[in-house]
Amino acid sequence: MCGVKSNRQIWGKDFPVGGEWDAGATPPLLTTTPAGRWTVRREAERFIVVFHRFSDGEETLLETFPPTEQGELDAKTFAITARDNLQILPQKKEN
C-alpha cells in the first residue's frame, strides 16, 4: 500500500513499546459495522490491530504481527484495509 511508512522511516527510530498508531475511525453508518477507532498498538512481543467501539468502549483484537519493522508496516496496512472495507474479524477481546 502506497504511503504507509514505518516509524523508523519517518522519525529514524523504532516504534516504541506501548505506542499506538491511529488508522482512523468509522463514523456511525447504516451498516453492520459499529462506530469506532482502528488502532495499531506496539506490545513487547508483537504489533496488534484492534477495533475500539465507541458505544461501549470494548476492543476487538483483529490481528497480530511480529515486532519488526515489516510487522509494523503489515499491521498498518491491515488496519487501513480493514477500515476502508469495514471489516471486523472478531477473535478475542483485548483488555
Please state, in angstroms and as integers, the Cα–Cα distance from residue 19 to each residue in 16, 22, 31, 60, 84, following that order.
Answer: 5, 10, 30, 18, 23
What's the pLDDT score for residue 71?
Answer: 97
By residue count, the chain amounts to 95
Contact assessment for residue 33 and residue 62, using Cβ atoms and an 8 Å cutoff = no
Q: Is 2 or 8 the better-scoring residue by pLDDT? A: 8
Within 8 A by CB and 6+ apart from 81, the residues are 1, 87
The CA-to-CA distance between both ends of the chain, in Å, stands at: 30
**How much is the CA Rg of the chain, to the nearest whole Å?**
13
What's the pLDDT score for residue 92?
Answer: 47
35-83: pLDDT as tens digits: 899 999 999 999 999 999 988 989 999 999 999 999 999 999 999 998 8
